[in-house]
Amino acid sequence: MRHLVTGGSGFLGNLIARRLLARGEQVRILDIWEDASRPPAIEFVRCDILDRDGVAAAMQGVDVVHHNVALVPLTKSGDRFREVNTEGSRLAAELAARAGVQAFIHMSSSALYGNPAQLPITDQTPLRPVEIYGRAKLAGEQAVLEVCKKHGLPLIVIRPRTILGEGRLGIFQILFEWIREGRDVYTIGDGNGLFQFVHAHDLMDFYMIALDSGRTGIYNVGSDRFGTLREGLERLIQVAGTSSRVRALPPGLTIATLTLLDTLHLSPLAPWHYLTYHKPFHFDVAPLLAMGWKPRYSNDEMFQESYAWFLQHYDRLMAEKAGGAHRRPVKEAILRVVKWLS
């Protein structure tokens, strides 16, 4: 089959494209930047998702569209979130339907749920995003659902938990660097709520199950083995063998301070991080397990693997400037001062 992966140079799009290629599929990616490590067998199209003519051309002859283009919370893109994450998703679905593709797979986000009142989260949990990124992703998912329903285009929606795995950076780069240097790390509140992650390869395993099953629907994907955020950090520190400690910060004061620093462009953390990471958050993955999915990684295992990869590639990562927001180091801004005090 012939596949188009939008955002194929980013962290998830890159994994999807390579999985498909390994299965012997024909793969084309569309992105605004080219990954230097892209296998030659994967075709690259340089195009913005809002370029109607360019996207339409890229979809010709394609059987399945995998839509991954999105501005992530770390970019703090303001109104651009709606342009890319909402209107870009709508445009991708419309052009896919017009091109006569057989299926559309949309990568959504757990940010749609905001701070849910009841756990575990299911696909029936109310969608109440608490910040601009989540609201744009929700509007984008709703637009895709509307278009696909209108045109009878089979749709699979994937809502992953926060992703870890080799090569995953973003805010985890800050955490890993602090632990490497023996600095204290902080939770908003006591960090004792159950908090679920998902390993990138486990996510890809389920992604392929969903693709092969042809079962349309919305799927929440997270590890089946997880504990509290504090437990995960403390076990990582223990394995790392450094003098770091996990310290709790008062939620109200901390969130107010981070909101102000964010407004002043002095913090790398986005609202999605400081408005939600102090709350328990986990999916009910029983429906996925019933489909034959067998996740390999617990929270602890994915934390430790990601940290080991970070250490192995530390020198290159600190020098690297290009790539997607989840595949490059993040500037610490005002957190550098907190790090020094830690």
Q: Is the pLDDT of residue 81 over 60?
A: yes
Q: Summarize the confidence of residues 37-47 as an average pLDDT.
A: 97
The region of weakest confidence among 81-95, 235-249, 316-330 is: 316-330
User: Do 298 and 223 form a contact (C-beta atoms < 8 A)?
Assistant: yes
Residue-level pLDDT at 286:
98
Residue-level pLDDT at 320:
67
Q: What is the pTM of this model?
A: 0.93
The answer to whether position 86 is within a domain reads yes
Q: Summarize the confidence of residues 321-335 as an average pLDDT.
A: 48
Residue-level pLDDT at 325:
45
Q: Are residues 192 and 202 in the same domain?
A: no
Q: Are residues 108 and 183 in the same domain?
A: no
The answer to whether position 62 is within a domain reads yes
Instruction: pLDDT band for 89, please (50, 70, 90 cuts).
Output: very high
Residue identified by tokens 């659902």 is: 145
Q: Summarize the confidence of residues 250-275 as an average pLDDT.
A: 93
Q: Are residues 158 and 230 in the same domain?
A: no
Each residue of 235-249: pLDDT tens digit?
999 999 999 999 999
Q: Summarize the confidence of residues 253-259 as an average pLDDT.
A: 95
Backbone CA torsion sign across 166, 325, 189, 113? negative
Instruction: Bin 20: left if φ > 0, else alpha if -120 < ψ < 50, else beta.
Output: alpha
The answer to whether position 287 is within a domain reads no
Radius of gyration of the chain (CA): 20
Q: Provide the residue range defining the domain that includes 21.
A: 2-163+197-221
Q: Are residues 111 and 149 in the same domain?
A: yes
What CATH number has the domain bearing residue 307?
Answer: 3.90.25
Task: Give the DSSP letter string of 2-26.
Answer: EEEEETTTSHHHHHHHHHHHHTT-E
Q: Are residues 30 and 129 in the same domain?
A: yes
Q: Are residues 128 and 12 in the same domain?
A: yes
* 242 exposure class (CB count in 10 Å sphere: 0-12, 13-18, 19+): middle
The answer to whether position 31 is within a domain reads yes
The answer to whether position 290 is within a domain reads no
Q: Are residues 158 and 180 in the same domain?
A: no
Q: Are residues 153 and 240 in the same domain?
A: no
Q: Are residues 253 and 128 in the same domain?
A: no
Write down the mean pLDDT value for the chain: 93
Of 205, 221, 237, which residue sits at a domain end? Answer: 221
Each residue of 153-176: pLDDT tens digit?
999 999 999 999 988 878 898 899
What CATH number has the domain bearing residue 208?
Answer: 3.40.50.720
The answer to whether position 190 is within a domain reads yes
Q: Are residues 87 and 98 in the same domain?
A: yes
Q: Summarize the confidence of residues 125-136 as an average pLDDT.
A: 98
Counted domains in the chain: 2
The answer to whether position 144 is within a domain reads yes
Of 188, 205, 221, which residue sits at a domain end? Answer: 221
Q: Summarize the confidence of residues 197-211 as an average pLDDT.
A: 98
Share of the chain above pLDDT 70, in %: 93
Residue-level pLDDT at 323:
43
